[in-house]
């Protein structure tokens, strides 16, 4: 193939988290032969929410080569060890979805089946007692994960909470040092090839014309190229996930800095609490079918730990996915490719997963349809897995105190999820697909937490000596407690390791 067939100009439309994550990663992952340009409009602005992540974000930051302490100071970040769910399965009950794995140095499958056997024999053990993340979260502590599989701290795991606006700005500065060009301006017209329909250029309000070979649509919910121009279509999932709005407002932190997200179920949705260094992010994600905007805002503000620091912002969204994330020479990444509510902090992860797959399927100017189709199928699977995992949180509730909860408890669910629930119910079998972003720990935490209890356990552990297993569990629980006791407090850890922004500013 001649050099003439290589892509040369990559144009990214949009400078939110998706745009700058994509720009930084492509600049790092591709060589300098490619010209990468981001077009963004300060007038339109960014969605400005999206503060909780899941552990693979660390791979993304490592791939870019970011310094963790600098990243944390620049984005006012804190650590996240999992999510505390309150009132989800039933009112008054709570459970913790931890990162890392349950058990110490144990294969989760094995560990869980032993746990199940003891549980069936009346052991009544709390699974959270065997998770370093769950216990550290409860104690408000944090410590470094170990790479040594013999060290119990290898079963630890973590992600971050960060200020999403600051994260975008930080990545923008970083990408610019790698040679990414930035153009300020609003795209008002999109030129297409008259025969192929491929996008050839963007026309800005200023009159400037930006030409490219590959266009990445990071324009947010509007999907400027993928939908408004190419009409890729949208598959609506709001029957399964009826939340379609959020009211968000920050407030000041009261009390210690907790290393986890909290999700509290409410009458018509749920409320997030995300502690950062300089403030707490809060939002009520709700379904407009079950509550008015005014009532949702009132619920949010009545449930803040301190006065709101800004007027609550209302956000509207439509749950689902673009029928084609990649069409012609346009790849949609971020909110332009689809959106599911932020219950398990998966949107930023989907951006990362899309970038990884784009690098794996990076096109030349022939834009092979087969290559594009495989990319689309892979992202579709990622999105459907997230959808099923989110739906589980609603479907497995026993709440019947409000119309929303009665609806979701009774709604039909995809076969793919029904099969997972049934296999788990039979004898605790966890079905995890290759390439899946959720770990067995995640499925287990939510299935059990929401009250799905296996009727039996694996025959492989049936003949094992229960007394010896119980002894092992006692030792493990004590070891987890001792290890957590030795950890520093969350804020102390950040300060000790040069990650606390306010102290860096004073130094």
Ligand X SMILES: Cc1cc2nc3c(=O)[nH]c(=O)nc-3n(C[C@H](O)[C@H](O)[C@H](O)COP(=O)(O)OP(=O)(O)OC[C@H]3O[C@@H](n4cnc5c(N)ncnc54)[C@H](O)[C@@H]3O)c2cc1C
Q: 15 vs 242, which CB is nearer to ligand X?
A: 15
Backbone angles phi, psi at 83, to 5 degrees: -130, 130
CA 459, CA 206: separation in Å to the nearest integer?
Answer: 70
If one asks whether residue 22 binds ligand X (CB under 6 A), the answer comes out as no
Q: Which of 292, 250, 286, 293 is nearest to 268 (CA)?
A: 286
CA 303, CA 288: separation in Å to the nearest integer?
Answer: 19
Active site residue 80: yes
Contacts (CB under 6 A) with ligand X, residues 323-362:
334-336, 342, 345, 347-348
Minimum CB distance to ligand X, residue 24 (Å): 13
Contacts (CB under 6 A) with ligand X, residues 406-445:
none
Backbone angles phi, psi at 392, to 5 degrees: -50, -40
Q: 144 vs 316, which CB is nearer to ligand X?
A: 316
Binding-site member from 14, 157, 242, 338 for ligand X (CB under 6 A) = 14
Minimum CB distance to ligand X, residue 185 (Å): 7
Minimum CB distance to ligand X, residue 413 (Å): 23
Q: 64 vs 469, which CB is nearer to ligand X?
A: 64
Site string for ligand X, 169-208 (x = CB under 6 A): -----------------xx---------------------
Helices (runs of H) and strands (runs of E) counted in the chain? 15, 21
Site string for ligand X, 293-322 (x = CB under 6 A): ----------------------x-x-----
Q: DSSP class of residue 306?
A: S
Minimum CB distance to ligand X, residue 270 (Å): 11
Q: Strand, helix or coil at 204? A: strand
CA 226, CA 236: separation in Å to the nearest integer?
Answer: 16
CA 164, CA 181: separation in Å to the nearest integer?
Answer: 21
Minimum CB distance to ligand X, residue 113 (Å): 33
Q: 283 vs 454, which CB is nearer to ligand X?
A: 283
Q: 44 vs 153, which CB is nearer to ligand X?
A: 44
Sheet holding 214-217, edge to edge: 181-184, 35-40, 9-13, 214-217, 330-332, 326-327
Binding-site member from 10, 23, 46, 330 for ligand X (CB under 6 A) = 46
Give the other-Cβ count within 10 Å of 252's Cβ: 13
What is the distance in angstroms between the CA of the first residue and the CA of the last residue of the chain?
Answer: 56
Could you tell me how many residues make up the chain? 507
Binding-site member from 246, 257, 268, 499 for ligand X (CB under 6 A) = 246
Sheet holding 234-236, edge to edge: 234-236, 320-322, 338-339
Contacts (CB under 6 A) with ligand X, residues 135-164:
164
In terms of phi and psi (left: phi > 0; alpha: psi -120 to 50; beta: otherwise), the region of 300 is alpha
Q: 274 vs 476, which CB is nearer to ligand X?
A: 274
Task: Please answer whether residues 322 and 232 qualify as being in contact, where contact means their C-beta atoms are separated by less than 8 angstroms.
Answer: yes
Q: 78 vs 135, which CB is nearer to ligand X?
A: 78
Minimum CB distance to ligand X, residue 45 (Å): 6
CA 199, CA 197: separation in Å to the nearest integer?
Answer: 6
Sheet holding 269-275, edge to edge: 94-98, 82-86, 261-266, 269-275, 280-286, 245-251, 313-316
Cα angle at 263 between 153 and 438, to 5 degrees?
50
CA 203, CA 188: separation in Å to the nearest integer?
Answer: 6
Contacts (CB under 6 A) with ligand X, residues 215-234:
218-220, 222, 224
Minimum CB distance to ligand X, residue 470 (Å): 39
If one asks whether residue 52 binds ligand X (CB under 6 A), the answer comes out as yes
Binding-site member from 12, 17, 273, 449 for ligand X (CB under 6 A) = 17
Q: 216 vs 413, which CB is nearer to ligand X?
A: 216
* Residue 418 structure tokens: 């029904």
* Residue 506 structure tokens: 């004073």
Minimum CB distance to ligand X, residue 276 (Å): 12
Catalytic residue among 80, 117, 324, 395: 80
If one asks whether residue 258 binds ligand X (CB under 6 A), the answer comes out as no
Minimum CB distance to ligand X, residue 7 (Å): 21
CA 462, CA 455: separation in Å to the nearest integer?
Answer: 14
Q: Strand, helix or coil at 277? A: coil
Interface segment toward ligand X; rule CB under 6 A; list 45-53, 251-259, 374-382, 435-443: 45-53
Q: 226 vs 501, which CB is nearer to ligand X?
A: 226
* Footprint of ligand X (CB under 6 A): 13-19, 39-41, 44-47, 49-53, 164, 186-187, 218-220, 222, 224, 246, 248, 283, 315, 317, 334-336, 342, 345, 347-348
Task: Write out the catalytic residue numbers.
Answer: 80
């Amino acid at each position: 193939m001649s050099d003439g067939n290589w892509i040369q100009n990559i144009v990214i439309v949009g400078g939110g988290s998706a745009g700058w994550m994509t720009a930084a990663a492509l600049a790092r992952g591709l060589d300098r032969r490619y010209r990468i340009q981001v077009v963004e409009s300060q007038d339109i602005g960014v969605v400005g929410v999206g503060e909780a992540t899941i552990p693979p974000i660390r791979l993304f930051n490592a791939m870019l080569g970011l310094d963790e302490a600098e990243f944390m100071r620049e984005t006012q970040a804190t650590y996240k060890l999992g999510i505390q769910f309150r009132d989800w399965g039933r009112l008054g009950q709570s459970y913790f979805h931890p990162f890392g794995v349950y058990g110490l140095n144990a294969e989760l499958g094995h560990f869980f089946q032993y746990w199940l056997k003891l549980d069936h024999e009346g052991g009544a053990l709390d699974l959270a007692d065997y998770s370093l993340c769950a216990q550290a979260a409860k104690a408000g502590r944090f410590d470094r994960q170990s790479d040594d599989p013999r060290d119990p701290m290898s079963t630890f795991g973590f992600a971050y909470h960060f200020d999403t606006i600051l994260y975008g700005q930080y990545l923008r500065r970083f990408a610019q040092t790698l040679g990414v060009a930035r153009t300020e301006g609003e795209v008002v017209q999109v030129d297409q090839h008259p025969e192929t329909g491929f996008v050839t250029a963007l026309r800005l309000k200023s009159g400037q014309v930006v030409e490219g070979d590959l266009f990445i649509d990071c324009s947010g919910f509007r999907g400027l190229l993928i939908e408004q121009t190419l009409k890729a279509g949208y598959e609506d999932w709001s029957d399964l996930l009826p939340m379609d709005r959020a009211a968000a407002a920050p407030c000041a932190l009261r009390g210690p800095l907790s290393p986890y997200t909290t999700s509290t179920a409410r009458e018509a949705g749920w409320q997030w609490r995300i502690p950062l260094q300089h403030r707490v992010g809060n939002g009520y994600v709700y379904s407009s079918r079950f509550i008015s905007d005014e009532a949702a805002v009132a619920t949010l503000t009545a449930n803040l730990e301190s006065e709101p620091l800004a007027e609550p912002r209302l956000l509207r969204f439509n749950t689902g996915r673009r029928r084609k994330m990649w069409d012609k020479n346009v790849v949609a990444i971020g909110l332009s490719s689809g959106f599911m509510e932020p219950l398990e902090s998966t949107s930023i992860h989907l951006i990362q997963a899309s970038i990884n797959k784009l690098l794996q399927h990076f096109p030349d100017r022939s834009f092979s349809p087969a290559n594009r189709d495989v990319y689309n199928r892979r992202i579709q699977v990622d999105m459907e897995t997230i959808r099923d995992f989110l739906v589980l949180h609603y479907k497995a509730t026993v709440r019947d105190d409000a119309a929303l909860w009665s609806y979701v408890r009774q709604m039909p669910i995809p076969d793919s999820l029904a099969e997972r629930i049934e296999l788990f119910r039979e004898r605790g079998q966890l079905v995890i697909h290759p390439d899946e972003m959720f770990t067995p720990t995640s499925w287990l935490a939510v299935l059990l937490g929401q009250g799905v209890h296996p009727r039996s356990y694996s025959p492989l552990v049936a003949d094992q000596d229960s007394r010896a297993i119980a002894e092992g569990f006692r030792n493990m629980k004590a070891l987890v407690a001792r290890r957590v006791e030795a950890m520093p407090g969350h804020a102390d850890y950040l300060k000790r390791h040069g990650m606390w922004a306010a102290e860096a500013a004073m130094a």
